[in-house]
Structure 1
Amino acid sequence: MRKSNIDGRLLTHGLRAMCAANFLLYAAVYMLLGVLPVALADDAACIYPAFLAGMLLAGPFHAYLADAFKRKHVLLLSYAGVGATMAVASYIYEAHYAWLALLQGACFALAAGAGTTISIDITLSGHRTSGNMLFAFCGRLGMVAGLAAGAWGIGHYPLAWLTYASALLCAAGILLCTTVYVSFRAPIGLKLVSLDRFLLGRAWLPALNVGILAFAFGIIGMFLTSLSASLGWYWMLPMLVLPLLTPMWVRMFVKLSHHCQRATGNMTFNLLMDMGMIAGIWTMCVMSGMDEVLIDEDTLAMGALVLAVLMFVLATLPYYKRKRVR
């Protein structure tokens, strides 16, 4: 292995590059996901379930792909898939090609999963928890940056320009990934479909908690996007709560995972965070097109937020203290 990957420091070149690439991946994806309800109104409603379906369909194949093929190749190809679909996203969305949004969701899930696996592989065991926390934080910071950039951009430029900007972010991320050295690992013959590197059963309660919290912020984020588009990007600053909480959550998921389940714990956190965020955005998109609603979006968001906080204090934290294995 190269010297940068065998010294005792956390911030090796490889981890710095992977963190930056993760930031760019999330910024590229959420730059568009956050503005579609503003740009396309009711026409955006079909995109979010297709994107979520793509993420869920790709998940069970994470472990097999990371075992049967070079992990760096999986990362680069899936990242390129995200960038390619971004490059034509204005045509995808306006034409309601939900199947292409499904492909985009699958590529995003595979790229995020492969990135997580590689970031673990290139970090020495004594630094891996800190590396996991930093890598996830950079992704969530990218998510907020993407939402803010999209909210600002949609007030100044057409949607097509934002799709090209997202594709360029992906291209920059791919270039960063190519500079990372990943050592060879012999395949061990995993099954084609499995929950490994997809869902950590022991973390079901924290995962549900994360999903509810992210759902609340998905709704809040859409409200702030409408303000940011007209008043300024700084209205998106309250969304920084999620990146700031991310290291705590990642550490919790890692501590709940057994040996060799670190990647699964990390991916479970990311999956539920993204599912919650996108479900919240989708909910706002659907509610905005309804003449009458049983509950307004403000009440729904605050209710979900209060539920997430109470759930963490009364259920998730005691569960974590009983079930942690590290």
Structure 2
Amino acid sequence: MAIANLLLSMSVTMLVPALPIWLMSTVNLDSQQTGLAMGAFAVGLFLPGALCSYLVQHYRRNIVFLICVLVLAVSMTLPFYRLPVLHAFPLIIIWRTLQGVAFGLAQMVLTSTLVIDTCESHQRTEANHSATWFGRFALSLGPMFALLLMQLSGLIVPSPITSPAMSTLNVFFLAMVCCIMAVVLVLFIHFPFRVPEDNLHLFSLDRFFLMSGLPLFFNLFLVTLAIGMLMSLPVTIDAYGMVMVGFLLALLAQRFVFCDAELKSEAVSGMLLIGASLIILLASRYSPLTTPILGLGLGLVGGRFLLFFIKLSRHCQRGTSQSTFMLGWESGLAIGVGLGFYVFHNRHMEMLLTALILDIVALLMYVIWTHRWFLAHKNR
């Protein structure tokens, strides 16, 4: 399931560098329309959430996941159709929103239900932590594979016989393959039958959103919003590779540096490192130090906030806390990418300065308010 989460997340992150190229070169959208299309994904993430609890109790939960991933896989085929009516801007917005719906519901079912159902109670925190880390690695691996495929197809290194449309189509095909592979992996897993609750409601916040975690949600959202804006920049394959190096360093730091440290030191260090990477970018945009420091900071913040959400949840709210974390993480990234194209297209220095301000606001919010609030409200 962890590898299935990696493949599912990669299918979406692959589109970050490839989809804007396709939208601008083939559909002929401008930067603002492209930004709206990229941001529409975030809207779709929230739309099915209130139905999640009903669906996983009324139907077999693994089947709900499989259907969602297959819908996402089918949606990857739209760029292959050359019908102009399918490339109209309103339909592109609906298409991206539908992708957000399919991915959001699949993630909610996977992280809030399937991972938890297959683990003993004393292993669930470790399982959530591990599965989420696999999805986090997709943030670097997805764009890396997309950029490498476009380079091999002749888009980044231009070829007279290769158009941008043809090169990006290969990325959509690979994203579809990742979805299918995730489906195959989950099909091999046996999930125990769960008896539905007696009072089953069609709409519910269960497995969707932990209202008591709003401060944590907004704090995390500010950080990922800044990161999403950076992902709208033209980034090289090597840069994404170094982000993964930073993620690996974050795993080591969590194990050996912050295991006995003060509780808030990990999140504070992570946001300080993100801020340091942004300052380096403002001073020297192509510094090789930037991306590993950024990956290290983001990995520390993501890992610590995930545990905070788990500790904040009460009995039978673990799944809800996982979905809330996922929404804060994914929606911040999607809206950040959208803002990068809509507001800051070809205005990179202003974007970097705005991202730095967002990170500083998130750090101050955490130090002044969120951490104290968490200590007063945690349940584990």
Say whether the fold is shared (TM-score over 0.5): yes
Cα distance per residue 1:247-302 (max 9 Å; x no partner): 22111001000100000001000001111001110001112458x89x81011111
Q: Is 1:147–1:236's contact at 8 Å kept on the other side of the alignment? A: no
| 1:253 and 2:309 are equivalent in the alignment | yes
Q: How does 1:3-152 map to 2 (within 5 A)?
A: 18-41=1-24, 42=31, 43-89=33-79, 91=81, 94-96=87-89, 97=91, 98-116=93-111, 117-152=113-148
Q: How many Å apart are 1:180 and its aligned residue?
A: 1.1
Measured on the aligned residues, the alpha-carbon RMSD in Å equals 2.2
Q: 1:64 to 1:106 in 2, by over 3 A?
A: same
Q: 1:38 to 1:310 in 2, by over 3 A?
A: farther
Q: 1:289 to 1:251 in 2, by over 3 A?
A: closer
Q: 1:77 to 1:132 in 2, by over 3 A?
A: same
| 1:213 and 2:213 are equivalent in the alignment | no
Q: How many Å apart are 1:40 and its aligned residue?
A: 3.2
Q: Is 1:228–1:236's contact at 8 Å kept on the other side of the alignment? A: no
Q: Is 1:86–1:166's contact at 8 Å kept on the other side of the alignment? A: yes
Q: 1:30 to 1:89 in 2, by over 3 A?
A: farther
* Higher mean C-alpha deviation, range 267-276 or range 35-44: 35-44
Q: Is 1:81–1:107's contact at 8 Å kept on the other side of the alignment? A: yes
Q: How many Å apart are 1:147 and its aligned residue?
A: 2.4
Q: Is 1:63–1:194's contact at 8 Å kept on the other side of the alignment? A: yes
Q: Is 2:150–2:170's contact at 8 Å kept on the other side of the alignment? A: no
Q: How many Å apart are 1:228 and its aligned residue?
A: 0.7
Question: Residue 154 of structure 1 aligns to a residue in which SS?
Answer: helix
Give the one of 272, 285, 295 matched to 1:240: 295
Q: Is 1:58–1:110's contact at 8 Å kept on the other side of the alignment? A: yes
**Cα distance between partner residues in 1 of 2:100 and 2:16:** 11
* Higher mean C-alpha deviation, range 279-288 or range 81-90: 81-90
Give the one of 264, 276, 279 matched to 2:320: 264
Q: How does 1:148-159 map to 2 (within 5 A)?
A: 148-157=144-153, 158-159=167-168
**Cα distance between partner residues in 1 of 2:336 and 2:80:** 22
Q: How many Å apart are 1:100 and its aligned residue?
A: 1.9
TM-score by structure 2 length? 0.75
**Cα distance between partner residues in 1 of 2:333 and 2:81:** 24
Q: Is 2:141–2:240's contact at 8 Å kept on the other side of the alignment? A: no
Question: Residue 146 of structure 1 aligns to a residue in which SS?
Answer: helix
**Cα distance between partner residues in 1 of 2:186 and 2:235:** 35
Which residue of 2 is the match for residue 11 of structure 1?
Answer: none
**Cα distance between partner residues in 1 of 2:338 and 2:169:** 21
Which residue of 1 is the match for residue 375 of structure 2?
Answer: 321
Q: How does 1:148-297 map to 2 (within 5 A)?
A: 148-157=144-153, 158-188=167-197, 189-223=199-233, 226-228=234-236, 233-234=240-241, 236-237=243-244, 238=291, 240-241=295-296, 242-289=298-345, 296-297=350-351
Q: Is 1:39–1:154's contact at 8 Å kept on the other side of the alignment? A: no
* Higher mean C-alpha deviation, range 295-304 or range 212-221: 295-304
The amino acid across from 1:108 in the alignment is F
| Unaligned segments of structure 1, at least 5 residues | 1-17
**Cα distance between partner residues in 1 of 2:209 and 2:305:** 15
Cα distance per residue 1:24-70 (max 9 Å; x no partner): 00001110034333443425233224322221111111111111110
Q: Is 2:229–2:351's contact at 8 Å kept on the other side of the alignment? A: yes
Q: How many Å apart are 1:308 and its aligned residue?
A: 1.6
The amino acid across from 2:9 in the alignment is Y
Identity across aligned pairs (percent)? 26
TM-score by structure 1 length? 0.86
**Cα distance between partner residues in 2 of 1:212 and 1:196:** 24
**Cα distance between partner residues in 2 of 1:82 and 1:128:** 27
Question: Residue 46 of structure 1 aligns to a residue in which SS?
Answer: helix
Q: How many Å apart are 1:316 and its aligned residue?
A: 1.6
Q: 1:211 to 1:233 in 2, by over 3 A?
A: closer
The amino acid across from 2:55 in the alignment is L
**Cα distance between partner residues in 2 of 1:140 and 1:54:** 20
Q: 1:87 to 1:243 in 2, by over 3 A?
A: farther
Name which one, 1 or 2, has greater alpha-carbon Rg.
2
Give the paired residue count: 304
